[in-house]
Structure 1
Amino acid sequence: MEDLDSLGNCFGAEADGCMRAVLERYFKGTYVSGHDGKLEFVFSDGASESFHLGKHRVAISSGVWYSSLGLSTRNSLYICSSAMEAVAFVLLQDSKLADLDQSCWIVFGLNCPLPGAVPEFCFGPKINLLFGRDLLDVLRAVKICVSLKGFSVHFRLFEDQLSCRFRGRSYIFPVEGFSLSRFKQATGFRDYSSMKRPPGADSYFHQMRVGLEYNNI
């Protein structure tokens, strides 16, 4: 068995250093690192998301987690499915995007009430959504986007169809292929949000973990 690095994973010393650099530069003050390398991202209600020994546990939270180091400029807002999704995105995209230092990052807990819990700094900037491809992630992204505009949306699943109630009207979508863009096209909803996903992977976190383990960098 390979030795564990200081993050408690089998990724190797170089990967450990890269992740530490990302955490310190973009997410300073938003996480706790234990002596055993366990990472914890504490939400506003005290619940925490963790990453340790290669295992990721999302927060069952009614609060929010955010990093607002770029709040003064906030060229972009990244709304993420998890804190580790944010870390993975930066780790993989740092050399490609110039404005990450001027961005804010936020995760809404799975039980977070919307739109009441949306922080003020979420309004205004361009919104980048870092969510996976499965239906629950897409529905979360849609609900967050409409909440930022002061609306609510309700979904019900009927076998292979999705029933949607939005702004006093009802819509039916096929489950297969449902997306934020299809929701916008059907309902006429407009905002400045867009999904960001890696090609060939379910999420940036999945791409990061598979890539680091494969290359053992």
Structure 2
Amino acid sequence: MSFSSLKPEVQDFFAPYINISKDKVAFPYTLESCVIDHEHWYNNRVRVPVSAGIWLAADSLPISVTNLFIGHSASDILCFCHYHPGWLAVPCSAAFASLALRPSKEQVVRLKFLFPNAKIHTVFDAGIIGRVTDCKVAMWKVGKNARFSLIGDQGEFYCNRKRYCIPVGVFSLNRFEKEAGIRSGVRTHKPKAPFETFHQFFTDKG
């Protein structure tokens, strides 16, 4: 499945924020108004950079955006919208941002400043890396940090000078917040099992 197989409303919404050449779609990542990297989607394959830049799509004034969706991959965000096109409706005033493969606190702080009235949603992958990134974004949103590591089948993290362990199989933002006593208000979105990403689900299911 390719970009042209996405629902028409998804293609129309994101058209101004991508570059299409034959069967390849490029998503520009910018930093201080300069394009510094690209993500590429072609032949059912996606190449996502490690970047300090952000790919961003928003057709409303930043102050009026009420829902901000953040993920590792722009193509994954488009596939998410293919299955949830209601978020593209005008009353939703949604914006979409990809932080690439190694999100940073600086990226999240930048987005929080740009969209001060937006509720944050995450569209990271369903594996442990995506679930840990959900937690990192939640911490950065509230101005805090936490250190994470994987010890065998346990997810270990340090927060507020305390050490916590959660089994990998049940590790999630919800469990993390309960253990750490944090309420970030971040909402997570995951594809149906056994798929890791919405792009995988789209490519397999159409």
Q: Do they fold alike, i.e. is TM over 0.5?
A: yes
Instruction: Find the residue that maps to 2:158 and give its secondary structure.
Output: strand
Aligned residues: CA RMSD: 2.4
Inter-partner Cα distance in structure 1 for 2:30 and 2:86: 31
Residues 55 and 158 of structure 1, relative CA distance in 2, 3 Å threshold: same
Q: Does 1:23 align with 2:14?
A: no
Structure 2 residue aligned with 1:32, among 19, 24, 29? 19
Name structure 2 gaps, 5 residues minimum: none
Does structure 2 conserve the Cα–Cα contact (< 8 Å) formed by 1:123 and 1:148? no
1: CA distance between counterparts of 2:106 and 2:160? 15
Change (3 A) 1:117 1:202: closer
* Contact 1:78-1:129 at 8 Å conserved across structures: yes
Shift of 1:51: 0.4
In 2, the alpha carbon distance for the partners of 1:100 and 1:80 equals 22
The match for 1:83 among 51, 66, 74 is: 74
Retained in 1: the 8 A contact 2:66–2:117? Answer: no
How far apart are 1:68 and its partner, in Å? 2.1
CA deviation string 1:109-157 (max 9, x = no partner): 3234314653212444222111221001111111111111111111122
Distance 1:17 1:171, change over 3 A: closer
Match of 1:93 in 2: 84
Structure 1 residue 166: Cα displacement: 1.3
Residue of 177, 188, 200 corresponding to 2:181: 188
Letter in 2 for 1:30: Y
CA distance in 1: counterparts of 2:104 and 2:29, whole angstroms = 14
| Paired residue type of 2:177 | K
Q: Which residue of 2 aligns with 1:54?
A: 44
CA shift, 1:160, in A, is 1.6
Structure 2 matches for 1:1-217, cutoff 5 A?
16=4, 18-19=6-7, 21-25=9-13, 27-34=14-21, 36-45=22-31, 46-70=36-60, 71-95=62-86, 98=89, 102-115=93-106, 118-119=109-110, 120-200=113-193, 201-212=195-206
Q: Say which SS state the counterpart of residue 201 (structure 2) adopts.
A: helix
**Contact 1:115/1:144 (<8 A) preserved:** no
**CA contact 1:64–1:112 (8 Å) conserved in 2:** no
**Which structure is higher in helix share?**
2
In structure 1, the gaps of 5 or more residues are 1-8, 213-217
Larger Rg: 1
SS for the counterpart of 1:44 is strand
